[in-house]
Structure 1
């Protein structure tokens, strides 16, 4: 393909954290350019945000509906190829649905939708449309997460028997939402966040990482959720027992009131031949232990990496690769797939989270909330 992919954006206006992350990540590999956007629920702010990003005024739209309809009317050589949705949770489904039904591919922030019913419907819309849909579970983009997944898939660890995963933050250990802080305010509001608080925000990352690395599905869970912040109706803490489809057992702990923690996502996977551990705050080491060999530490672009990890290692060994690069891998793999589609080619196994993963995430949220309501009773995912 002899050009960059053209991206439109919904949300992510001036002052947005995640919108800026998506734009930077999309640009890292030089395959994507931002050409238009509806950056705010306020038309005035949206247009101002677009201008601040040096977009022409006629490509700065007041609403996502306006953007999708007007972009559709442009010649194929000018219109956006896909939409990136970086809004709070309650505004994921409407623009995704409209974009897909009007012929545009979609990249969407997680969790996929506000409700499980929306997620199931959106998966059907994706299938019917024939368009691509990527969900930005960005931690799966780290080279050493790819290495971990490949090692499990190739049988290096033997049969998986035990999993421990945690995602601990402390930024909501005070009532930050009462100060008017935007990121805190919408995350504790069920009308915007959905039925999960920390569960939906970071618990879904833990769930996705477990299933991505092990290649196994969570069969059932027992969840004990906490609501420690004064007046909060959504969870801000949780501990979950998990049973995997192959009989493996696991524990999951997540929190946004763990004072002193910053972004402590970590996973340990134990098999019959070996075990591994990976820590997001030290993402450039995958530590492995073996039944009959010394401890071995893998690094990005280092020795003995599988092709799955080498293909997303961008810089020489010894140079750190982190959050933005992992995010960029999602965009790169999506863009590679989309370019192939536009060129009439086929990619057998594109490696990025899809609508199917989004439904799993919403099933996880709903099963956890149901379990918690029933005194941590064992609960299966709803179909």
Structure 2
């Protein structure tokens, strides 16, 4: 990087979980510096947030609109390069489109939007602005997820037959969305979360990881959505059968009512000659299983890793890297792409956002119909 890029944040004020994660990830490699923001619609909370983050008062803005107008008026060497959007889902599309049209790159929380219509509008804004759009499908940033992807792409396991992904949480097992928990409250509100509850929040992560690592696209699906907590307005449990390219079959399970579970994202892929297993709660190990030789465990920082994996590591073997480092890999790749570096890494972008929105809409359509299989179309 020839210089540190300047970042503005919308949302993520004091007490917000994901805003703090984005800031830590963006700062980790020194590629980004947070210099501006509109952190809350509450004026006093916004002021306190900016002050606590060391943001100059004149760059702590009352709204996104004020931020974009003021930053666009600054000289090239002072204005922000990108806007990070860490708000509830219903604000993603209007904010992303406004920032792109104002000439700023955008790093947006997932899901991309409330629906496919909004997602396509973001894609159109990115195309006409010529700016880059990144999407926070964080788990693709883990080094051993990259190792898994590269081994599948390299043909290590032969033709892929099975793709199994599970994302199991328990934090919504009780009706905390009606008991004042702000994180739960907006995620179960259709007006702010969108069409899916658990489906949009973590089901999209599972879907993206499955396609990203397997290199296969889901062609058809058969889905069941459930809402276990009485009175909840969106799903809290998802089960989907998948038909993928080249005859591969898959299963996706996502739930937020598995009482006692923490953040159990797991992926298994099997081909003709062997398969792999990766778990987000043990992210520094990749298990490789074979028909004709003993099981292997590949470790982060250890021998046998590919070049694309090594570029995502920061520490030697035995020094675990985790969620924030994975997130930081996406911010680093985003910065490299903006800087035009030849060796820029990859990050989830517009195409990934469109695919996941198509997945959400197809799951909902299938679950509500009497059809057994629904094509995944629209992206």
Q: Same fold (TM over 0.5)?
A: yes
Which residue in 2 is equivalent to 1:149?
149
Q: Does the CA-based 8 Å contact 1:43-1:63 persist in structure 2?
A: no
Which residue in 2 is equivalent to 1:108?
108
Q: Does the CA-based 8 Å contact 1:224-1:375 persist in structure 2?
A: no
Looking at structure 1, the residues matched to 238 and 368 of structure 2 have their Cα atoms a distance apart, in angstroms, of 13
- Work out the number of aligned pairs and report it: 378
Greater than 6 Å deviation, 4+ residue runs: none
Q: Does the CA-based 8 Å contact 1:44-1:62 persist in structure 2?
A: no
Q: Which string of whole-angstrom CA distances, capped at 9 and with x for unpartnered residues, describes residues 224-269 of structure 1?
A: 0110111012100011000102210011111000111100000100
SS at match of 2:283: strand
Query: Out of 343, 349, 353, which is 1:354 matched to?
Result: 349
Which residue in 1 is equivalent to 2:364?
369
What does residue range 271-350 of structure 1 map to in structure 2 within 5 Å?
A: 271-340=271-340, 350=345
Looking at structure 2, the residues matched to 298 and 162 of structure 1 have their Cα atoms a distance apart, in angstroms, of 21
TM-fit CA distance, 1:177: 0.8
Q: Does the CA-based 8 Å contact 1:223-1:376 persist in structure 2?
A: no
Which residue in 2 is equivalent to 1:33?
33
Looking at structure 1, the residues matched to 334 and 222 of structure 2 have their Cα atoms a distance apart, in angstroms, of 34
Looking at structure 2, the residues matched to 71 and 14 of structure 1 have their Cα atoms a distance apart, in angstroms, of 23
SS at match of 2:232: coil
Looking at structure 2, the residues matched to 376 and 297 of structure 1 have their Cα atoms a distance apart, in angstroms, of 41
Q: Does the CA-based 8 Å contact 1:161-1:272 persist in structure 2?
A: yes
Q: Does the CA-based 8 Å contact 1:269-1:276 persist in structure 2?
A: yes
The two structures have a TM-score, normalised by structure 2, of 0.98
Looking at structure 2, the residues matched to 208 and 359 of structure 1 have their Cα atoms a distance apart, in angstroms, of 11
Which residue in 2 is equivalent to 1:202?
202
Looking at structure 2, the residues matched to 129 and 157 of structure 1 have their Cα atoms a distance apart, in angstroms, of 41
Looking at structure 1, the residues matched to 241 and 87 of structure 2 have their Cα atoms a distance apart, in angstroms, of 31
Segments of 5+ residues of structure 2 without an aligned counterpart are: none
Which residue in 2 is equivalent to 1:246?
246
Which residue in 2 is equivalent to 1:182?
182
Q: Does the CA-based 8 Å contact 2:163-2:214 persist in structure 1?
A: no
Which residue in 2 is equivalent to 1:380?
375
Which residue in 2 is equivalent to 1:5?
5
CA RMSD, aligned part only?
A: 1.1
Which residue in 2 is equivalent to 1:76?
76
Q: Quick check: 369-378 or 203-212, which moved more?
A: 369-378
TM-fit CA distance, 1:43: 3.1
Which residue in 2 is equivalent to 1:220?
220
Q: Does the CA-based 8 Å contact 1:38-1:47 persist in structure 2?
A: no
SS at match of 1:246: helix
